Structures are given as C-alpha cells and as structure tokens.
Amino acid sequence: MPKANSRRIVFTAYDRISLLDLAGPLEAFRIASTFGGSSPSGRLGTYECSVVSVRGGPVKTADGVALVTDSVRTLHRTQIDTLIVPGAFLVDDVTRDRDLVQWVRKKAPTCRRVCSVCIGSFLLAAAGVLDGRRAATHWMHAPLLAARHPQVAVEPDAIFVHDGKVWSSAGVTTGIDLALALIEEDAGRQVAMNVARMLVVYLKRAGGQSQYSALLAAQAQSESETFDPLDRWIAEHLKEDLRVDALAERVHMSPRNFARAYAKRRGRTPAKAVEAIRVEAARRRLEETGDRIESVAEDSGFNNEEQMRCSFIRILGIPPREYRKRFAATV
C-alpha cells in the first residue's frame, strides 16, 4: 500500500526497453523522496515508484540487463499519480506489446499525469494519448512520429513538452530533465535543485531548448573533421568578420573553393552555418540571463536587434522577445 502523503509513479516496461530511459527518471524520483520533508511547501512527501509489465516477472532490456517487474494487474485498485512510458532503441520494440498499448489507453485518463521518455512517445501516440497535443521525441525519430501520427503536433527541437496532463521528453537522458521538471512542479525549485546536484546535472535546461547544438548538428552531418576547428573558432569569435572571404583566408583556401567544400561537407553554406551558431549563442543568453536584447544581439555578432529577430524567426520560428518569455529559466 502507498504511504500517506505519497505519489505513486508507475513506469511501464516491455522487452528491449532502454535501461537509461527508465533508470534516469527513476533515480531522480528516488532522490527526491529523501528531500521531500525539507520542501518549503511541504507538498511532496515521498514518491512510491513501481516498474510494471503486462505479465510481470523478468523483462530483458535492450542493454542485456533483466528487470524484475510487477504485473499491471497489481495496480487494479491503485490510484496512479504519474504514468511514465520509457523508450527503447527501436521504434517497433516500443509498440510491439499491443496489450501494453491497450492498458495505457485504458489507464491514462485516470492518471494525474502521463509521460513518455524518448521514443516512448510512439506508445502514447499508438494509445491515442497524444491526439491533438504537442509532443517531443528523439530528434532522429521526430519525422517518423509526425508521419505515423499526423494528429500529433511533434516539436522536433524540444527537450521536453508539457501539454495539459501529458508530458513528453526527447532522447534518452532528457528523461532526467523531465523528471526534474515534474519534481519542481510537485515540490518546488529547491527540492528539484537538490536532486539535480545529487545527480550532477543542470536544472536550468528548460523545456524548449534545442536537443543538439548547431555545432554538433553540423558535425553529425559530415564524415569529415576538416572544418571542426573552424566551427569552434566561429563560436568563440562571433563579433569578428565571419564572411566567406575571411573564413576562407583562415583555412588557407580560396573563397570559391572554401564555399564549395564547406557546403559539400556540412550540408549548408558558410553563411547559414554562421547564422545558426550566432542564433544558438543568442538563445542561450536569452534563456540564462536578463541581458538587454540589444546587448545579446551585439555580443552574438548581429548588426542589430532587427537582424537577430529575422534570424530567430527564420531558424526557430519565433522572435527573440517571445523566445525569452517562453524559455527563460525561472530564478
């Protein structure tokens, strides 16, 4: 039986589940319970966590580690506060257990919150939980989720998305970000900060932040490391002349040769890369500081606020001031 003043957190498990998708949030809730009594609001108490599968018993993870699970039947008379569906390495592994999909479909309406980690979103979508809602998933699988479930508004660049009672996070370790956000909602910022310190992670990574940086995205698309040092130099010298001629001179190439080679290896022109790196630097300043918009634009290498505004709309689909309102960390 759950203890008094506790919240029941239930994780669903299935064959070939990703261990980290499950273990990261589970550990965050366990640590949070040790700080519940020190919550200024006294709202938390403790978390009672369960890992369940349709039939119960051992479930083998994709990592080769077997989990001992309870059967979903043991929750027949239990009020679930938060239901969390972890992901896997393969989308088909997530939705293969149709009995689990049906159980989630039936149980979700009775829970205060329903969540997914990584591609666990595919199970929530298959169960109809994400219909008409915004959702996050691993950036690599976002196009597939949108194609399979057009009734879901997929946000491919979000760390996590909160839409009503449904929360969804991006890839793998973002399950910890999601858990910290849920803990902060339950018990306040101080408890969430304590948990973040214990886990040695940042609390400040707010929902809506990019899943990957402009530099990492560029490098991931290229098999060559030729321009990695140049990209890092650009990120550290945003206020300098970053036009093609200047960059070409830095790597000892002719402007025409450089522009052609960079676009071939990076999948975008040098100008587009510079713009993306400047926007990334600017959005981080907007998230983490209260600096004036004009100062952020200047320090990020934009000629003025209007130029930064146009770049934000082109790349992020939102102007800088609105971005700050949505995603600035609460202090």
Mean pLDDT of 123-137: 97
- 35-83 pLDDT, tens digit per residue, is 654 444 455 568 999 999 999 999 999 999 999 999 999 998 899 999 9
Residue 87 covered by a domain? yes
pLDDT at residue 211 above 70? no
Q: Are 144 and 261 contained in the same domain?
A: no
Task: Give the separation between CA 170 and CA 39, rounded to whole angstroms.
Answer: 28
The answer to whether the CB of 96 falls within 8 A of the CB of 14 is yes
> Of 142, 176, 199, which residue sits at a domain end?
199
Q: Are 13 and 157 contained in the same domain?
A: yes
Q: For the CA atoms of the chain, what is the radius of gyration?
A: 22
Mean pLDDT of 93-108: 97
The pTM of the full predicted model, rounded to 2 decimals, is: 0.68
Give pLDDT, residue 329: 60
> Of 199, 223, 246, which residue sits at a domain end?
199
Residue 15 covered by a domain? yes
Segment among 33-42, 164-173, 220-229, 271-280 with least mean pLDDT: 33-42
Task: Give the separation between CA 324 and CA 331, rounded to whole angstroms.
Answer: 13
Q: Are 60 and 97 contained in the same domain?
A: yes
**What's the total number of domains in the chain?**
2
Task: Give the separation between CA 136 and CA 207, rounded to whole angstroms.
Answer: 10
Residue 207 covered by a domain? no
Of the pLDDT bands very low, low, confident and very high (cuts 50, 70, 90), residue 194 is confident
- 12-34 pLDDT, tens digit per residue, is 999 999 999 999 999 999 999 88
Residue 183 covered by a domain? yes
Task: Give the separation between CA 301 and CA 303, rounded to whole angstroms.
Answer: 7
Give pLDDT, residue 44: 59
> Of 199, 222, 250, which residue sits at a domain end?
199
Domain that holds residue 281: 214-327
Segment among 53-62, 150-159, 216-225, 277-286 with least mean pLDDT: 216-225
- Residues 302-323 as b/e (b if ≥16 CB within 10 A, e otherwise) read beebeebbebbeebbebbbeeb
The answer to whether the CB of 182 falls within 8 A of the CB of 176 is no
